[in-house]
C-alpha cells in the first residue's frame, strides 16, 4: 500500500476538516477557519479575520454552528456601518 493511500484512509474516517474549511474548537467552544496543522495542534482564524489561535482538538462545524458564526460576523458589521 502506498503512503498516500494510507494517509487517505487515515483521514477518511476522521472528522477534522480540510484547510480552509470551518472547524469547531472543542475547548474554546467557537468556530474558526482551519489554517493548518502542526505538531498535533490546529491553527484557527476567526471568520472576520484577525489573530489565529491554537486548538488541540477540532471537528467539522455543523451547519447550525456555521450559520450562527456567519450571522454573528454579518451582524457585527451592521453595527459599525460596514
- Residue spans per domain, the chain: 12-79
How far, in Å, CA of 58 to CA of 14, rounded?
A: 10
**Does pTM top 0.95 for this prediction?**
no
How far, in Å, CA of 3 to CA of 9, rounded?
A: 10
User: CB–CB of 42/23 below 8 Å?
Assistant: yes
What pLDDT digit, counting tens, does each position of 3-24 carry? 444 444 444 447 889 999 999 9
What pLDDT digit, counting tens, does each position of 23-42 carry? 999 999 999 999 999 999 99
What cell does 7 get?
Answer: 494517509
How far, in Å, CA of 48 to CA of 74, rounded?
A: 9
How far, in Å, CA of 10 to CA of 5, rounded?
A: 9
Amino acid at each position: 500500500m502506498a503512503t498516500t493511500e494510507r494517509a487517505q484512509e487515515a483521514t477518511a474516517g476522521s472528522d477534522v476538516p480540510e484547510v480552509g474549511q470551518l472547524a469547531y474548537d472543542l475547548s474554546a467552544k467557537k468556530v474558526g477557519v482551519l489554517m493548518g496543522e502542526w505538531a498535533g495542534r490546529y491553527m484557527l482564524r476567526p471568520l472576520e479575520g484577525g489573530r489565529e489561535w491554537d486548538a488541540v482538538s477540532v471537528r467539522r462545524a455543523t451547519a447550525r454552528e456555521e450559520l450562527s458564526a456567519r450571522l454573528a460576523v454579518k451582524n457585527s458589521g451592521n453595527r459599525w456601518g460596514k
